[in-house]
């Protein structure tokens, strides 16, 4: 059994502030170690339950956060960027399941460090009329390859968001939001224990029993993205095929979800120039 792990940092226990999520932040080094520890717990649980291969994609910021020298020796790491599928780089139809570790809630909700892809640029994203955060968008990408997302870890808002998108998914809430930059956190060893157990159950029970179905979106796949200001929308409109919906919102649709997603990312990158 092959397991794919997409790992972010904002949903890691103990991470609550930008000083921990940026390479320039004074507390970034400690956050990297905490992130690596929770990823290792997910790897350990998957392997204990019978996984034969685990591939980890570093999915935060520069995508060079996980400490490879401290990563579980049986895991393979995709690191660096930019990457064509960003947070889902490496996913393919040969995987039996996907885990999302350290994920955060979408923009506009009350989760810790909430945002969607780019907090500076994106006010919200919808796919075929439904608003999603990174959890939903990335689950759709996994579903494009027939891969179910069977485990999501992060704060309590992220867990609830995942359950609303992916019926039957296992979740681990490693912290509870108190404000956007504050949370009641589990001690790291406790968080890792819960992640390890949930990962093992997901592989041992949820995958063989088909308890979580791959997320499949209809065609065409139409993304709508709302920006923070009109200048950002002006820049994003340079993407061929992008359509202006209103002053702040653009849409892009295509029969292939991957093409639509790449256009979405291109719009976000262009908008970030402003």
Is the confidence at residue 274, as pLDDT, over 90?
no
Domain boundaries, the chain: 2-115+133-206, 221-271
* Domain 2-115+133-206 part of CATH 3.40.50.10780: yes
Contact at 8 Å (CB) between 64 and 79? yes
Is the confidence at residue 239, as pLDDT, over 90?
yes
Is there a shared CATH topology between the 2-115+133-206 domain and the 221-271 domain? no
CA atoms within a 13 Å half-sphere pointing along the CA-CB vector of 161: 32
108-155, pLDDT tens digit by residue?
Answer: 999 999 999 999 999 999 999 999 999 999 999 999 999 999 999 999
Rounded Cα distance, 36 and 138, in Å: 21
Mean pLDDT, range 11-23, rounded to an integer = 97
Secondary structure (DSSP) of 12-37: STT--SHHHHSTTSTTHHHHHHHHHH
Q: State phi, psi for 252 to the nearest 5 degrees.
A: -150, 130
For residue 201, the SS3 value is helix
**Structural tokens at position 172:** 């681990």
Is the confidence at residue 263, as pLDDT, over 90?
yes
CATH topology of domain 221-271: Gyrase A; domain 2 (3.30.1360)
Per the annotation, the verdict on 115 as an active-site residue is: yes
Q: How confident is the model at residue 201 (pLDDT cuts 50, 70, 90)?
A: very high
Q: For residue 197, what are the contacts with CB-CB under 8 A and spacing of at least 6?
A: 45
Rounded Cα distance, 207 and 217, in Å: 21
Rounded Cα distance, 129 and 44, in Å: 38
In the numeric block, the tokens 């919808």 are attached to 126
Q: For the whole prediction, is pTM greater than 0.75?
A: yes
Is the confidence at residue 12, as pLDDT, over 90?
yes
Mean pLDDT, range 81-103, rounded to an integer = 97
Mean pLDDT, range 37-46, rounded to an integer = 99
Mean pLDDT, range 74-101, rounded to an integer = 98
70-82, pLDDT tens digit by residue?
Answer: 999 999 999 999 9
Q: Which residues pair with 226 in a beta bridge?
A: 124, 249
Q: Average per-residue pLDDT in the chain?
A: 98
Q: How confident is the model at residue 204 (pLDDT cuts 50, 70, 90)?
A: very high
Mean pLDDT, range 43-47, rounded to an integer = 98
Q: Which of 60, 115, 228, 254 is catalytic?
A: 115
Is the confidence at residue 43, as pLDDT, over 90?
yes
């Amino acid at each position: 059994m092959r397991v794919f792990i997409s790992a972010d940092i904002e949903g890691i226990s103990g991470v609550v502030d930008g000083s921990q999520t940026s390479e320039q932040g004074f507390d970034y080094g400690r956050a990297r170690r905490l992130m690596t520890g929770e990823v290792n717990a997910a790897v350990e649980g998957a392997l204990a339950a019978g996984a034969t291969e685990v591939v980890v994609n570093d999915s935060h910021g520069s995508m060079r956060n996980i400490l490879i020298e401290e990563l579980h020796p049986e895991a393979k790491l995709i690191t660096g960027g930019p990457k064509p599928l960003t947070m889902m780089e490496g996913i393919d139809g040969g995987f039996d399941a996907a885990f999302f570790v350290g994920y955060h809630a979408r923009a506009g909700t009350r989760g810790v460090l909430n945002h969607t892809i780019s907090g500076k640029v994106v006010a919200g994203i919808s796919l075929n009329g439904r608003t999603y955060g990174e959890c939903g968008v990335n689950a759709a990408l996994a579903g494009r390859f027939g891969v179910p997302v069977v485990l999501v870890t992060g704060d309590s808002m992220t867990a609830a968001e995942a359950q609303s998108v992916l019926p039957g998914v296992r979740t681990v809430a490693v912290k509870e939001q108190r404000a956007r930059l504050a949370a009641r956190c589990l001690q790291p060893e406790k968080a890792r224990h819960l992640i390890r157990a949930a990962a093992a159950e997901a592989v041992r029970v949820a995958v063989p029993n088909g308890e979580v179905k791959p997320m499949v979106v209809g065609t065409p796949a139409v993304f709508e993205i709302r920006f923070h200001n009109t200048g950002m929308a002006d820049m994003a409109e340079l993407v061929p095929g992008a359509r202006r919906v209103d002053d702040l919102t653009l849409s892009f649709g295509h029969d292939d979800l991957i093409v639509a997603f790449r256009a979405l990312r291109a719009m976000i990158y262009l908008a970030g120039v402003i």
